[in-house]
């Protein structure tokens, strides 16, 4: 199982005060470790209000972008989906734009 990265659970909605938007938790199997990835979707984003590719990201609760990152060997800590695009936060806690 070494090196295998796959989604094993989610999306589970997370209720958090003081954080704008919806938050979902995904479980990812990374070799022998289980990691959580949190996806935050901005309040203002609705399926009717956004164009592709953001529409797919909102509809899938971030699963489509998460799958692409996992296929590339990356397991982010958090993904933020806003009208400006997708931002990923990695192990080093730095935010980076995520190309769709």
Give all strands of the β-sheet with 5-14 in edge-to-edge order: 5-14, 22-30, 33-41, 78-82, 85-89, 95-98
Local structure of 10: helix, strand or coil? strand
In the chain, DSSP assigns E strands to: 5-14, 22-30, 33-41, 78-82, 85-89, 95-98
Burial-class residue 56 by CB neighbours within 10 Å (0-12, 13-18, 19+): middle
Looking at residues 10-29, what average pLDDT do you find?
A: 91
Q: How confident is the model at residue 67 (pLDDT cuts 50, 70, 90)?
A: very high
Closest to 91 measured CA to CA, from 70, 77, 74, 71:
77
pLDDT of 11 higher than 90: yes
Q: How does pLDDT run across 45-62, given as a tens digit for each residue? A: 888 888 888 888 999 999
pTM for this prediction: 0.85
Which of the pair, 49 or 76, is modelled with greater confidence?
76
């Amino acid at each position: 199982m070494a090196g295998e990265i796959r989604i094993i659970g989610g999306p589970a909605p997370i209720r958090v005060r003081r954080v704008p938007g919806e938050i979902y938790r995904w479980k990812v199997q990374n070799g022998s470790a289980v990691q959580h990835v949190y996806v935050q979707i901005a309040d203002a984003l609705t399926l009717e209000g956004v164009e592709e590719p953001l529409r797919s990201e909102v509809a899938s609760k971030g699963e489509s972008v998460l799958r692409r990152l996992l296929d590339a060997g990356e397991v982010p800590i958090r993904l933020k989906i806003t009208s400006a695009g997708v931002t990923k936060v990695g192990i080093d806690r730095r935010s980076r734009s995520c190309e769709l």
